[in-house]
């Protein structure tokens, strides 16, 4: 059951979802948002696309298997968590630095990990359900 209206709409909406999810991820430190919400929003975007164009198309558009994305997320979170080892602090302590005038931190790396793990986890589940049901 393919709907032309949904498919056309999804083509416009999915990029918006993704960009918005990145925006939410990055602003999360000082304003409502963060990796968890961002990951959910991005997952919603791809779910919409999977509904409109089919799971196979969605998997192709994603290019990487969602399970791999989830594992990358966990690894990313671990890197963020243990970056503090280089400064001699305990694990999960934030490390802060400055790049071209922007404050960056291991906390952001951790948050990106959260984003990817949630995104990958949700899509693993949804794609699998769609394919089997």
Which parts of this chain interact with another protein (CB under 8 A)?
A: 24, 28-37, 40-41, 43-44, 47, 51, 67, 70-71, 73-74, 77-78, 81, 91-92, 94, 96, 103, 105, 107, 110-111, 113-114, 117-118, 120-122, 124-126, 128-133
As measured in angstroms, the least distance from the Cβ of 8 to another protein is: 20
Q: Which residues of 15-46 are buried (b: 16+ CB within 10 A; e: fewer)?
A: eebbeebeebbbebeeeebbbbbbbbbbbbbb
Give the residue with the Cβ less far from another protein, 10 or 113.
Answer: 113
As measured in angstroms, the least distance from the Cβ of 53 to another protein is: 15
SS3 104: strand
Beta-ladder partners of 97:
104
- Phi (first) and psi of residue 65, to 5 degrees: -60, 130
**Count of other CB atoms within 10 angstroms of residue 66:** 23
As measured in angstroms, the least distance from the Cβ of 12 to another protein is: 18
Give the residue with the Cβ less far from another protein, 62 or 111.
Answer: 111
Give the residue with the Cβ less far from another protein, 18 or 92.
Answer: 92
Tokens at 61, concatenated: 């558009």
As measured in angstroms, the least distance from the Cβ of 59 to another protein is: 13
């Amino acid at each position: 059951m393919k709907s032309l209206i949904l498919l056309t709409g999804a083509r416009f909406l999915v990029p918006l979802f993704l960009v918005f999810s990145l925006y939410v991820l990055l602003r999360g430190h000082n304003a409502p948002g963060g990796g968890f919400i961002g990951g959910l929003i991005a997952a919603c975007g791809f779910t919409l696309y999977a509904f409109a164009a089919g799971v196979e198309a969605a998997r192709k558009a994603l290019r990487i298997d969602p399970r791999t994305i989830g594992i990358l997320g966990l690894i990313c979170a671990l890197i963020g968590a243990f970056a503090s080892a280089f400064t001699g602090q305990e694990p999960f302590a934030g490390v802060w630095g400055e790049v071209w005038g922007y404050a960056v931190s291991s906390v952001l790396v951790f948050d990106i990990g959260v984003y990817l793990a949630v995104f990958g986890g949700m899509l693993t589940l949804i794609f699998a359900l769609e394919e089997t049901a």
